[in-house]
Amino acid sequence: MEIPSIPLGQWIEGGLDWLTTEYSGVTRAISRVTQTGIDGLNDALFWLPPWALLLIIVGLCWWVASYRLAIGAALGMALIWNLDLWDPMIETLTLVVIATLVAVVIALPVGIAAALSERLYRTIMPVLDFMQTMPAFVYLIPAIPFFGIGSVSAIFATVIFSMPPAIRFTTLGIRQVPKDLIEAADAYGATRRQKLLKVQLPLSLPTLMAGINQTIMLALSMVVIAAMIGADGLGSEVWRAIQRLRPGDGFEAGIAVVILAMLLDRVTQSLRKGRKS
């Protein structure tokens, strides 16, 4: 006896078709705003001469972290410039910055709400598990019918893919605040808002920054993958090298991705520590 197959794929396709039809005006508006932000940040970074932006990055690394990271940033950025990958690096950095900002803006309120509500916490954790175990390539599929081919779809897929760690770490940080400090705040008559803003969030800030660090790393990895749907940047250089069977060009772009990832990781880790290392 044959068991009838559940038409799950057809249901999903029908749902996507309905969403793209009913909310096409919303997606077009989001696309225009997002593309404007991408173009604006790209223009601002391209307006600076490479040597000037390099000095700014080196100075930021020295100020936030240490002279050792500043030296490493100078060498790494100089290598990217020498390999003629400066423009793709800027395009990648733009996508990562915008996707991270959007993901954090969404994740922080959701994480705070989940930390303060046990019912929401139990509801959202399985959703985050599902989002984090889903293969990264799958997130590219719904992005195309919503926003078409290009960088806007890359931002959409990157935000969805990179958001769970920020939500998890925000919830974890707030829930790990010692109960005696919460009781002390209650004893002094603090309101729920005062406890959140003056006790829970400041004490959970290192954990929040760890979540943002993970979000940035996931965003960078997804932006590279999103070259498959037309995203600009270093990922497109890797994808072009694969299509043309040029392993040397692919490794050069891959090294540039590693350099950018290391800089972003070390800078955010230094911010999390709150001191120079």
Q: Assess if residue 92 is contained within a domain.
A: yes
- Do both 104 and 217 map to the same domain? yes
- pLDDT for the residue 1: 61
Regarding whether 75 and 129 lie in a shared domain, the answer is no
Confidence of residue 275 (pLDDT cuts 50, 70, 90): very low
Please check the confidence at residue 120 and state whether its pLDDT lies above 60.
yes
pLDDT at 52: 92
What tens digit of pLDDT does each residue of 144-163 get?
888 888 888 889 889 999 99
Residue 3 lies in a domain: no
Mean pLDDT of 94-120: 91
Say which residues have a Cβ less than 8 Å from residue 229's Cβ, sequence separation at least 6: 140, 143, 144, 149, 150, 153, 154, 157
In a domain, 138, yes or no: yes
CATH code for the domain in which residue 107 is found: 1.10.3720.10
* Average pLDDT of the residues of the chain: 87
Whether the full predicted model's pTM is greater than 0.85, yes or no, is yes
Residue 54 sits in the same domain as residue 160: no
- Say what the pLDDT of residue 95 is: 92
Distance CA 88, CA 46 (A): 11
Residue 17 predicted with pLDDT over 50: yes
Domain identity same for 65 and 194: no
Structurally, the chain folds into a number of domains equal to 2
pLDDT of 193 over the 70 cut: yes
Whether the per-residue pLDDT at 276 is higher than 60: the answer is no
Give the integer Cα–Cα distance in Å for 39 and 24.
22
Does 235 lie in the same domain as 119? yes
Do 75 and 176 belong together in one domain? no
Task: Determine the structural domain holding residue 96 and report its residue range.
Answer: 86-274
Does residue 71 sit in the same domain as residue 93? no
Let me know if residue 111 belongs to a domain: yes
Does residue 29 carry a pLDDT above 90? Answer: no
Could you tell me if residue 24 is inside a domain? no
Q: Which of 83, 103, 127 is the last residue of a domain?
A: 83
Q: Are residues 186 and 265 in the same domain?
A: yes
Least confident of 132-146, 166-180, 209-223: 132-146
Residue 23's pLDDT band, with cuts at 50, 70 and 90, is: confident
36-40, 103-107, 228-232: segment of lowest average pLDDT: 228-232
In a domain, 181, yes or no: yes
- If asked whether residues 74 and 188 sit together in one domain, one would say no
Tell me if 20 is assigned to some domain. no
Taking the C-alpha atoms of residue 178 and residue 237, their distance in angstroms, rounded to an integer, is 48
Determine the pLDDT at residue 169: 92
Q: Which has the higher per-residue pLDDT, 43 or 3?
A: 43
Q: How confident is the model at residue 40 (pLDDT cuts 50, 70, 90)?
A: very high
Asked if residue 95 and residue 137 are part of one domain, the reply reads: yes
Q: Can you give the pLDDT at residue 274?
A: 58
In a domain, 44, yes or no: no
What pLDDT band is residue 89 in, cutting at 50, 70 and 90? very high
Residues 120 and 96 in one domain: yes
Residue 277, pLDDT score: 40
Domain end residue (candidates: 83, 102, 134): 83
Cα–Cα distance measured from residue 277 to residue 275, given in angstroms and rounded to the nearest whole number: 6
Q: Same domain for 65 and 196?
A: no
The arithmetic mean of pLDDT across residues 162-166, rounded, is 91
